[in-house]
Each structure stands twice: as structure tokens, then as C-alpha cells.
């Protein structure tokens, strides 16, 4: 394992990963989170490959309490892959907004802070029109969710950068920042997506520059990182995740990225392996982010 020299330093970034919910949020999801020493988690609240709406979870309050006791924050939900708020098809846009709203409400009921939604595709009629529809759709989803407030407030939508293939939107930091700003939301930056879209994170020098570009473009609008190593080449515009240290980004580069984005929660969506390998990945990322101890003011 790569051992980052922490010289007594402590991390300001919380480290987590996407976890399954099969087997129960308390019995399985929280168990895995504790076993891997996670400080943040991401989950689905419904089948990401289908349109079925999320259903109430009877263990919701127990999950909220268990996450609080385990010090897990933030809890993040990833929205359905079928959602495309930028679609040319008005029926698809309408359905996407309503389903995203339902997921915002369901996520809030589990104590989740954010719901990550893909920026979507303009379908061939240009980025400007696509981003206009995306901004409108984010606003509509929030309005629908706000009208369905229960005991817990809806989660916040955060829009994710894309790999930039075909008609996919928001592969540049400037476009992602514009959508977030105009929609009044925050963003999730996926490191693998950024790399294959042309942002060179592979070296320490490149990672420092990417962090600087993100700070300048996004200002305070980054909510979380999806911390994924890249399976495919720089600029290839082909998605694919590898475990940290096994793709195109050097381990030293991750340290520089964390230094440039202090306090940013990082959630891995990397391939699962044995429990030992999964836990080792979490430990590695903590070392790369500044050391095993988390600062008292860690976000």
C-alpha cells in the first residue's frame, strides 16, 4: 500500500463510498460502513435502471439514528440513470423532473443531504438549449419536492459533470458552474469523468492545476467529489472506473487534489472486491487525503 507521509497532519475531507442497500439499510448498509470505517456514504433509494418511484423505508428513522451515531455525514443518494432533465422530449423531461422530485423527498426521509443527478444529454440541438432545459428541470424538481414536505425536508439536488461524449452536457467546469449557478444548486465533480473529458489529473502538477481550475470556476458550488480513478485514457470521453491507484491517476496526484480542495467530502464509486480490499481502499484514500485522523472541523 502507498503510505502518504502525514507528518502529524489530519484530514479535513471525509471519505466514503457507494454502498448497497440490499439486506437492509441498518443490517447491511450501516454494517458495511462501520466495517470499512466510512465517514460518508452514497446509496440508491430505488432501482437506478427503472422508473419505479422510491418506496417508504420502514427503517428510515433507525438508519438516520445509526448514521448519526456512526458519525456518517453526508449521506448522499444517487439519482436514477434514466433521468434526463435536458431531453428534447417534453414527456421525458416531465417524467424526469417528477421522478427526481420523488427521490429528493425519499432521500430527505433518510436524512440524506444531497441527491446526485447526471447533467444529461441535449439530444442533438445544442448545448445552450440543453443547459437551459437542465436548469429549468432542476428548478421544477425542487418545486415539486418542496410541495411534498414530510417530517424531514427534501434533499438538495447536485448536478454531476459528464465525460462529454456525444451530446452529454457539462463536461467542462465552466459549463457545470454555469448550470449550478443559474439553477441555484451545487455540483458533484466526478474525477474519472473529468479526466476522460480532458482535465489531466494524472500527475501532481496536473492535479494542482485541476484543483485551481475547479476553485476558480465553481467557487463554493462543489458539494462533493466522486473519487474514481480512470479506466480509460485522458480525453477519451469513455467512462469507466478503477480503484484508486489502479488507473491513470498517480497516487501522489490524489494528495495534491485533496490539498487543493480542502474539506471536500469524497465518495468512491470504484469496483467492489473482498472486504479486506474495500477497507484497504478507504484507508489508502484517507492517507492520501492527509492521514487517518479526521480534523475536528472536517466537513
φ, ψ of residue 267 to 5 degrees: the values are -120, 125
**60-88 burial, b for 16+ CB within 10 Å, e for fewer?**
beebbebbeeeebbbbbbbbbeebbbbbb
Q: What is the DSSP letter of 196?
A: H
pLDDT for 299 equals 53
Domain boundaries, the chain: 15-288
Q: What is the DSSP letter of 234?
A: T
Q: Which set of grid coordinates corresponds to residue 293?
A: 485522523
Q: Which set of grid coordinates corresponds to residue 220?
A: 463554493
Could you tell me the mean pLDDT of each successive run of 10 residues in the chain, 299 residues long?
Answer: 45 97 97 97 98 96 98 98 98 98 98 98 97 98 92 96 98 98 98 98 98 97 98 98 98 98 98 94 98 79
Q: What is the DSSP letter of 84?
A: -
Q: Which set of grid coordinates corresponds to residue 61?
A: 428513522
Long-range interactions of 259-262: CB distance < 8 A, separation 24+: 259/208, 259/211, 260/207, 260/208, 260/210, 260/211, 260/212, 260/214, 260/215, 261/13, 261/211, 261/214, 261/215, 261/222, 261/225, 262/12, 262/13
Q: Which set of grid coordinates corresponds to residue 37?
A: 470505517
pLDDT for 9 equals 61
pLDDT for 198 equals 98
pLDDT for 247 equals 98
CATH classification (class only), 15-288: alpha beta
Identify which of 108, 176, 166, 193 has the alpha carbon closest to the alpha carbon of residue 138.
176
Q: Which helix (H) or strand (E) element contains residue 217?
A: helix 204-218
pLDDT for 15 equals 98
Q: Which residues pair with 13 in a beta bridge?
A: none
If you count DSSP H runs as helices and E runs as strands, how many of each does the chain have, helices first? 9, 10
Identify which of 182, 183, 97 has the alpha carbon closest to the alpha carbon of residue 145.
97
φ, ψ of residue 115 to 5 degrees: the values are -125, 115
What gap in Å lies between CA 8 and CA 291, rounded to an integer?
A: 8
Amino acid at each position: 500500500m502507498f503510505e502518504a507521509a502525514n507528518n502529524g497532519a489530519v484530514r479535513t475531507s471525509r471519505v466514503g463510498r457507494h454502498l448497497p442497500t440490499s439486506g437492509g439499510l441498518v443490517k447491511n448498509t450501516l454494517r458495511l460502513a462501520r466495517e470499512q470505517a466510512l465517514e460518508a456514504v452514497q446509496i440508491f433509494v430505488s432501482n437506478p435502471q427503472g422508473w419505479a418511484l422510491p418506496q417508504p423505508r420502514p427503517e428510515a428513522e433507525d438508519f438516520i439514528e445509526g448514521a448519526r451515531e456512526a458519525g456518517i455525514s453526508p449521506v448522499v443518494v444517487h439519482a436514477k440513470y434514466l433521468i434526463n432533465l435536458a431531453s428534447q422530449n417534453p414527456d421525458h423531461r416531465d417524467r424526469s423532473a417528477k421522478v427526481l422530485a420523488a427521490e429528493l423527498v425519499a432521500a430527505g426521509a433518510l436524512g440524506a443531504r444531497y441527491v446526485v443527478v447526471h447533467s444529461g444529454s441535449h439530444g442533438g440541438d445544442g448545448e445552450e438549449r440543453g443547459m437551459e432545459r437542465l436548469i429549468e428541470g432542476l428548478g421544477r424538481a425542487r418545486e415539486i419536492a418542496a410541495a411534498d414536505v414530510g417530517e424531514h425536508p427534501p434533499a438538495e439536488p447536485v448536478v454531476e459533470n459528464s465525460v462529454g461524449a456525444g451530446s452529454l452536457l457539462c463536461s467542462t467546469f465552466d459549463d457545470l458552474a454555469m448550470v449550478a449557478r443559474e439553477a441555484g444548486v451545487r455540483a458533484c465533480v466526478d474525477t474519472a469523468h473529468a479526466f476522460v473529458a480532458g482535465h489531466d489529473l494524472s500527475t501532481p502538477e496536473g492535479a494542482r492545476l485541476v484543483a485551481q481550475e475547479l476553485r476558480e470556476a465553481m467557487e463554493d458550488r462543489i458539494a462533493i467529489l466522486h473519487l474514481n480513478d480512470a479506466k480509460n485514457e485522458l480525453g477519451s470521453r469513455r467512462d469507466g472506473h478503477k480503484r484508486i491507484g489502479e488507473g491513470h491517476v498517480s497516487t501522489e496526484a490524489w494528495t495534491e487534489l485533496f490539498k487543493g480542495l480542502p474539506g471536500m467530502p469524497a465518495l468512491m464509486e470504484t469496483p467492489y472486491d473482498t472486504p479486506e480490499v474495500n477497507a484497504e481502499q478507504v484507508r489508502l484514500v484517507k492517507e492520501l487525503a492527509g492521514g487517518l485522523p479526521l480534523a475536528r472541523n472536517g466537513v
